[in-house]
Amino acid sequence: MQDRRSFLAALAATSLGACARMAVGSSPADANATLDAQQRAAGGTSGGTPIAPIGLQLYTVRDAMQRDVAGTLAHVARVGYKEVEFAGYFDKTPTEIRSILDANGLRAPSSHLGIDVLEKGGLGAAIDAAKVVGHEYLVLAWLPPDRRGSLDEYRRHAALMNRSAEQAKRAGLRFAYHNHDFEFEPTAAGIPYDLLLAETDPSLVQMELDLYWTVRAGQDPLTYFARYPGRFTMVHLKDSAGAPEHQMTPVGRGTIDFARILSRRDQAGIRHFFVEHDDAADPWASIETSYQNVSKMRV
């Protein structure tokens, strides 16, 4: 399987790029925390509002997409997903992608881009493709390690996001940024993610909050929802088996309290929920488990 960096590099020549084993703790405390999270994910009451529509970030099934785009999207729809988020078109044209989506009753409100697309004048082509496929958002997927220097470098990224978002807005689209954990690593001058939020125009740049990476970094998503209400129009849903390794697991198989976090979805501004698993041993089993658990949530 490719990691995010190599995946993005492989797609950098196209108009749309890609988004971006550790041992599970076996102590009784970890086991109890996992059980509690599974019970919360399954929903313990009949009240509350379901999470809908449930989407899938297609990076999770990237190997299958490379082999068979149409068959993979049909399988995703059979699992029950209603939305998908792209990470490259896998040699299909935007028109072909739209036809496959329509045939399977799927929508694709969002697609990930590599930073090279923004820096090398590729955003116009990405916008043209997005309008054909039906995207509402174009999302900067991540910042490679060689682009994570000082806070001044993050300021330059924020300025690039503002310019990109203005271009997207003129075309009737919206722009967002997807985080990992490195943005929360503190520096002497502050936390890079806080700077990105402060330096990007809230009327232009939204955030796609990856809940796994945020929790792994030791941050509470509710703190950011309260501090920046309405900025987080999309979230990624994937679970953690718990500290210190934070092995990634399907939703409901770990310790993240999704019901607690998503109960503030109105405050956050969340409109789209994308399941993801970066490196699942069995991607199909992973997305099926996550779908079943998310579909049972009531918040």
Residue 150 has pLDDT above 50, yes or no: yes
First-to-last C-alpha distance (Å) of the chain: 35
Q: List pLDDT tens digits, range 248-290.
A: 999 999 999 999 999 999 999 999 999 999 999 999 999 999 9
Is the pLDDT at 95 greater than 50? The verdict is yes
What dotted CATH number matches 4-296?
3.20.20.150
Structure tokens at 93: 């044209």
- Total-model pTM: 0.87
- Asked if pLDDT for residue 5 goes beyond 60, the answer is no
Query: What are the residue ranges spanned by the domains of the chain?
Result: 4-296
CB 248, CB 279: distance < 8 Å: yes
Does residue 130 contact residue 159 with C-beta atoms inside 8 Å?
A: no
Residue 243 has pLDDT above 50, yes or no: yes
**Confidence class of residue 47 from pLDDT cuts 50, 70 and 90?**
confident
Structure confidence at residue 6 (pLDDT)? 52
Rounded CA-CA distance 93/96 in Å is: 5
DSSP secondary structure code for residue 298 in this structure: B
The string of pLDDT tens digits covering residues 55-89 is 999 999 999 999 999 999 999 999 999 999 999 99
Q: For residues 117 and 115, give the distance between their C-alpha atoms in angstroms, rounded to a whole number.
A: 5
Cα-Cα-Cα-Cα torsion 55, 58, 59, 65, nearest 10 degrees, comes to: 160
Q: Could you tell me what percent of the chain has a pLDDT over 90?
A: 83
Q: Compute and round to an integer the Cα radius of gyration of the chain.
A: 18
Q: What is the 3-state secondary structure (H, E, C) of 44-112?
A: CCCCCCECCCEEEEHHHHHHHHHHCHHHHHHHHHHHCCCEEEECCCCCCCHHHHHHHHHHCCCEEEEEE
- Number of other CB atoms surrounding residue 72 within 10 Å: 22
Residue 116 pLDDT > 70, yes or no?
A: yes
Please check the confidence at residue 33 and state whether its pLDDT lies above 60.
Answer: no
> What does the pLDDT read at residue 46?
55
Contact between residue 280 and residue 286 where contact means Cβ atoms under 8 Å apart: yes
